[in-house]
Amino acid sequence: MSVDLEEPRSVPARSASTPVKPRRRRMAPRDRVFTVVAQTILSLWALVVLLPLLWTVFSSFKSSGGILSSPFAMPEEWNFDNFVTAWTEAGIGRFFGNTVLVVGAALVLVMLLGAMCAYVLARYEFPGRQVLYYGLIAGLTFPLFLAVVPLFFIMESLYIRGTYIGLILAYVGFALPFTVFFLYAFFRQLPEEIAEAAAIDGAGDFRTFFQVMLPMAGPGMASVTIFNFLGLWNQFLIPIVLNTDRDKYVLAQGLANMQAQQGYDSDWGAMFASVTITIVPVLIVYLIFQRQLQGGIGPGTDK
């Protein structure tokens, strides 16, 4: 498995056989029929994806009564009351801040430590290297919920349960295998000549890594960062086990808690607004970075 940086737009074989950009030819009738059918099915699926999202966004502007009585009507007025309620009274603002803090810190740490660890494992030969590598990879296959009970007591005995530090360290630990696994492949691909050149120029291990190798792994770092961000932003089990203080709740926890307390017939408007607040920033981040994500991580067949 490897990480493809961009969609393989220029497969070597293709550029060799058609050196000139092919002109658009008229399609055969059968092709056109198939294309229309394909377009229709794909559009239907796009609708299935978009409808719930649009419904959520529109509903977040309505009153609870309006949501229940006329679910498909457009909001009568663009009313931001629900957002204010959600952000302040329901505590979404606070949870949002907590999440940014915890995920941000964990992301920086895990990318740094993961890159360092992957670099050493990929480019230095020493006894026990394979054992460490496989030991790390094994962490990917174990179910997280097996670990949470002991993890709870480990945090307890280190006096960091229910603190931001404890949560961040747990995030780092559990994101580490994924990070090392993918960055390992990147560091192995980097040409040795450059590291040698750096060594000849007198750069030590630290400088070679930070000033030469790490910048060269930039594209890989970007993809892994995005996937780690999504993974950590989504994390639910670790926080509900370790992070039981309501003031320190992360967004996922706060939302689930809010939903559990609301039942079916209370403030739907605020709930929809909270969901919108959670979804929209992530969607915007995704739209900005979607180039890196498209074709993102997958087993490469071209090597």
Q: What is the footprint of other proteins within residues 232-271 (CB under 8 A)?
A: 233-234, 236-237, 240-241, 251-252, 255-256, 259-260, 264-265, 268, 271
Question: Residue 208 CB, nearest distance to other proteins (Å)?
Answer: 10
Closest CA to 190 of 254, 115, 136: 115
For residue 85 the two structure tokens come to 């309620």
Q: Does 294 bind other proteins (CB under 8 A)?
A: yes
Q: What is the rounded distance in angstroms from the CA atom of residue 112 to the CA atom of residue 172? A: 10
Does position 108 interact with other proteins (CB under 8 A)? The reply is no
DSSP code of 22?
A: P
CB of 164: closest distance to other proteins in angstroms?
15
CB-CB contact of 5 with 296 (8 Å): no
CA distance 254 to 250: 6
Cα separation of 88 and 80, whole Å? 12
Binding status of residue 230 toward other proteins by CB under 8 A: yes
Q: Rule CB under 8 A: is residue 272 a binding residue for other proteins? A: yes
Least distance from C-beta 178 to other proteins, angstroms?
A: 6
User: Between 77 and 130, whose beta carbon lies closer to other proteins?
Assistant: 130
**For other proteins, which stretch binds (CB under 8 A), given 74-82, 87-95, 137-145, 212-220?**
137-145
Q: Please state the closest distance from residue 228 (CB atom) to other proteins, in A.
A: 8
Residues 144-183 that bind other proteins (CB under 8 A): 144-154, 169-170, 172-178, 180-181
Handedness of CA 210, 211, 212, 218 (dihedral sign): positive
Query: With the C-alpha atoms ordered 109, 113, 115, 116, is the resulting torsion angle positive or negative?
Result: positive
CA distances from 164 to 151, 229, 244 (A): 15, 17, 11
Binds other proteins by CB under 8 A, chosen from 133, 163, 212, 292: 133
Q: Annotate each residue in 190-229 with x if it binds other proteins (CB under 8 A) or - if it does not, as one string.
A: --x--xx--x----xxx--x-----------------xx-
Shortest Cβ 186–other proteins spacing (Å): 12
Instruction: Kindly report the backbone phi and psi dihedral angles of residue 28, in degrees, each rounded to the nearest multiple of 5, phi listed first.
Output: -65, 155
Q: For residues 93 and 274, what is the distance between their CA atoms, to the nearest angstrom?
A: 9
Least Cβ distance, residue 83 to other proteins (angstroms): 16
Binding test (CB under 8 A) with other proteins, winner from 117, 183, 217, 270: 117
**Residues in 88-107 at the binding interface with other proteins, rule: CB under 8 A:** none
Residue (80 or 142) nearer to other proteins, CB? 142
Amino acid identity for residue 26 in this structure:
R
Tell me whether residue 262 is exposed, middle or buried, using C-beta atoms within 10 angstroms of its C-beta: 0 to 12, 13 to 18, 19 or more.
middle
The residue assigned the tokens 């009313």 is 79
The correct pick among 48, 78, 202, 288 for binding other proteins (CB under 8 A) is 48
Among 86, 90, 92, 139, binds other proteins (CB under 8 A): 139
